[in-house]
Amino acid sequence: MKIVNYFKRAKAFLVEVRSEFKKVTWPPRREVYGTTLVVIVTVFFFGFYLYGLDVAMSYLASGLTRLVGG
């Protein structure tokens, strides 16, 4: 009896999901391409920026340890 109830609930869930998907307004393909491009460019920019900060901080830390003698 539990299995039958499970399948009824699963079917009801999927029917509701389908009806909700019909209500969604999907963005146009051009907008998706544009925002995807912005995300990719931003990821690369901050990746290089953080890499540069890491290299600079490593250089400063090694310089300070040589200066202090640690």
Domain encompassing residue 56: 2-68
Sign of the dihedral through C-alpha 34, 35, 38, 40: negative
Provide DSSP, 15-67.
Answer: HHHHHHHHH--PPPHHHHHHHHHHHHHHHHHHHHHHHHHHHHHHHHHHHHHHH
- Write out pLDDT tens, residues 25-66: 999 999 999 999 999 999 999 999 999 999 999 999 999 999
Domain count across the chain: 1
Which residue in this structure is represented by tokens 């990719």? 40
Task: Please list, in sequence order, all residues whose beta carbon lies within 8 angstroms of the beta carbon of residue 27, skipping any fewer than 6 positions away.
Answer: 35
User: Does the pLDDT of residue 1 top 90, yes or no?
Assistant: no
